[in-house]
């Protein structure tokens, strides 16, 4: 099989225990190239564990995982060159400005013209104005966008976003969602983990639910919705959600 035909990510029979705690009990899934795949699960379901195994930070007990056609256990260096990882906790340097953070990473990756790369990413993530300020002064949403921007330096074909919007307010979440959609539109494969159903609904081409160590469902949103019977129509006015109200009042929703 050529690299072109292989899926971006292929996971088969993955198991992982921490001592007697069996976190992954046989996880299987495939992520198509250029798609957004959401791994959904409650706290402690094992989402970060899956992401760590796929990004070669952690070894599985058994099973196989291939990322960009490379085996995570035997071709770890090739996997690392094909991915970037934005962890659950942001990795930006507070003392540097946003632009300096980006330039630093571009230098570390030996890229030509780090300044131009930084400016292009600042513009793409609506951080041009804030670019010269220390990250210590950024809001949570700005940090998260900077963190994602940093992970794109060098154009990795696959990116892992572990809970990209946890702790962000609704407006900042929408900004991050927009950034993720743009990534996928440019052909990057995105695997994201989330505890938020609406996030998966907004972003993902496919959604998989990790529960008690296994993927219990995996499908498109439409397929998942078909698992439930349609709701009965009730004769009540549709009330706006709290999120609708919040977004209308803060002025981000028409």
Point out which residues bind ligand ATP (CB under 6 A).
18, 21, 23, 41, 43-49, 88, 195
Q: How far is the CB of 178 from Mg ion (least distance, A)?
A: 23
d(CA 80, CA 67): 9
CA 223 to chain centroid: 22
d(CA 209, CA 39): 6
| β-sheet bridge partners, residue 173 | none
11 contact partners, CB below 8 Å, separation of at least 6: 27, 28, 29, 30, 50, 54, 63, 64, 65, 66
Return the one option of ligand ATP, Mg ion, none that residue 167 interacts with (CB less than 5 to 8 A, by type). Answer: none
With tokens 């006015």, the residue in question is 237
Residue (22 or 124) nearer to ligand ATP, CB: 22
Picking from 114, 145, 108, the residue whose alpha carbon sits closest to that of residue 130 is 145
Return the one option of ligand ATP, Mg ion, none that residue 43 interacts with (CB less than 5 to 8 A, by type). Answer: ligand ATP
Q: How far is the CB of 158 from ligand ATP (least distance, A)?
A: 19
Q: How far is the CB of 147 from ligand ATP (least distance, A)?
A: 16
Does residue 165 interact with Mg ion by CB under 5 A?
no
* Tokens linked to 59: 């070894």
Residue (204 or 210) nearer to Mg ion, CB: 210
| 3-state SS assignment for residue 181 | helix
Binding Mg ion (rule: CB under 5 A), the pick from 14, 29, 38, 48 is 48
Return the one option of Mg ion, ligand ATP, none that residue 89 interacts with (CB less than 5 to 8 A, by type). Answer: none
Q: How far is the CB of 195 from ligand ATP (least distance, A)?
A: 6
> Which residues lie near Mg ion (CB under 5 A)?
47-48
């Amino acid at each position: 099989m050529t690299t072109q035909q292989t899926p971006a990510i292929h996971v088969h029979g993955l198991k992982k225990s921490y001592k007697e705690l069996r976190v992954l009990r046989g996880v299987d899934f495939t992520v198509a190239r250029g798609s957004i795949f959401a791994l959904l699960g409650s706290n402690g379901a094992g989402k970060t564990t899956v992401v760590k195994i796929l990004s070669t930070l952690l070894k599985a007990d058994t099973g196989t995982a291939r990322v960009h056609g490379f085996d995570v256990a035997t071709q770890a260096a090739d996997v690392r060159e094909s991915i970037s990882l934005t962890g659950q906790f942001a990795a930006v340097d507070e003392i540097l400005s946003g632009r300096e953070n980006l330039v630093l990473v571009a230098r570390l990756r030996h890229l030509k013209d780090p300044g131009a790369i930084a400016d292009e990413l600042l513009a793409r993530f609506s951080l041009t104005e804030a670019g010269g300020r220390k990250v210590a002064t950024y809001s949570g949403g700005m940090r998260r966008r900077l963190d994602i921007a940093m992970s794109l330096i060098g154009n990795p074909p696959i990116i892992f976003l572990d809970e990209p919007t946890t702790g962000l307010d609704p407006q900042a979440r929408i900004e991050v969602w927009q950034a993720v959609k743009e990534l996928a539109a440019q052909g990057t494969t995105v695997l994201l983990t989330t505890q938020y159903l609406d996030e998966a609904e907004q972003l993902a081409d496919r959604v998989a639910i990790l529960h008690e160590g296994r993927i219990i469902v995996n499908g498109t949103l439409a397929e998942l919705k078909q698992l439930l019977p349609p709701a009965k129509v009730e004769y009540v006015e549709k009330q706006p959600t709290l999120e609708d109200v919040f977004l209308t009042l803060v002025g981000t929703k028409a």
